[in-house]
Amino acid sequence: MFKGSNVALITPFKDNKLDKDAYVKLIHFHLENGTHGLVPAGTTGESPTLNHEEHEQVIELCIKESNGKIPVIAGTGSNSTEEAISLTKHAEKVGANAALIVTPYYNKPTQEGLYQHYKAINDNTSLPIIIYNIPSRCVIDMSVDTMARLFELKNIAGVKDATGDPSRIEATLKKLGPDFIQLTGEDGFALEFNRRGGVGIISVTANIAPKLCSDFQKYSKSKTDNEIKEAERIDQILQPIHKSLFIESNPAPVKYAAKLLGLCGDEIRLPLVKIKKETEDQVKNALSSAKLLS
């Protein structure tokens, strides 16, 4: 169920409030363009600056509008175990298909602390749990051994790997086997990740290029030479977009790209700010090179 192109949904704002109309429009944009799964209220959705009511509303709206057509993996992580449990329980109650739970940031738990954090969430839900391992933002790195311990629990299903370490894929596959879902969180690394045993991505770029991203994922896992070549061709088209969307802190560049495409405004919450003029130019050029802008 959890494979292919899963979009890390941006959260549109208008006058510092959730822009519901734009958000619903975005969800249907993905349903119409082949996206394989929706991931609301993650970091790209500015979860750190959503209040609890907004966080829950973003997840509920996503589930309601997608109406079971594709899976919804709700972002419910926190550096507070109790808060993560509460958010996960809510996501389960309103019909999410899985929970994406980031490793606790700032607290710097040990590997045993990581295990106990996820175990506590596991014990309070029946949702499949995707571990989000992103050392660059959270400072800590969950080891393969800790993931193996967690995989023995009933609800731990896989990982969104944003370590940027190619060797991690094979090590995880060797230790946990093919049933443990491996999704990358690095758009630019998606082709190599799938070649090494990954099954998909939770993508920022998919916000503004859903058809290209879903086609790429489909072809990258093909066994035919022609389709693999097509995946490589699409990857070359996407690479300039991937790079442009991370010149400044995500999701400011992708929100600007979404504005250019008429999907939503580029309003973003402090402490993040709108991108600089030179970054705007690079985002425009990347979209134009991929023929997404006329």
Q: Which amino acid is at 15?
A: D
Of 3, 115, 160, 256, the active-site residue reads 160
For the sheet with 200-203, list strands across it.
Answer: 37-39, 4-8, 200-203, 181-184, 156-161, 129-133, 98-102, 73-75
Cα–chain center distance at 133: 11
CA separation for the pair 187, 255 (Å, rounded): 16
Q: What distance in Å separates the CA atoms of residue 70 and residue 2, rounded to the nearest whole number?
A: 10
Q: Per DSSP, which regions of the chain are E strands?
A: 4-8, 13-14, 17-18, 37-39, 73-75, 98-102, 129-133, 156-161, 181-184, 200-203
Of the listed 132, 219, 255, 259, which one is catalytic? 132
Rounded distance between C-alpha atoms, residue 42 and residue 20, angstroms: 17
SS percent in the chain: helix, strand, coil, step 5: 50, 15, 35
Taking the C-alpha atoms of residue 238 and residue 236, their distance in angstroms, rounded to an integer, is 5
**256 has catalytic annotation:** no
Residue type, 63: I
Residue 132 appears among annotated catalytic residues: yes
What's the DSSP call for residue 262?
T
Instruction: Report which DSSP code applies to 16.
Output: T
User: d(Cα 247, Cα 279) in Å, to the nearest integer?
Assistant: 7
Confirm if 45 and 80 have CB atoms less than 8 A apart: no
Assigned token pair, 109: 């738990």
Both ends of the chain: CA-CA distance in Å? 35
**Please, is 38 exposed, middle or buried when counting C-beta atoms within 10 Å of its C-beta (0-12, 13-18, 19+)?**
buried
The residues carrying an active-site annotation are: 132, 160
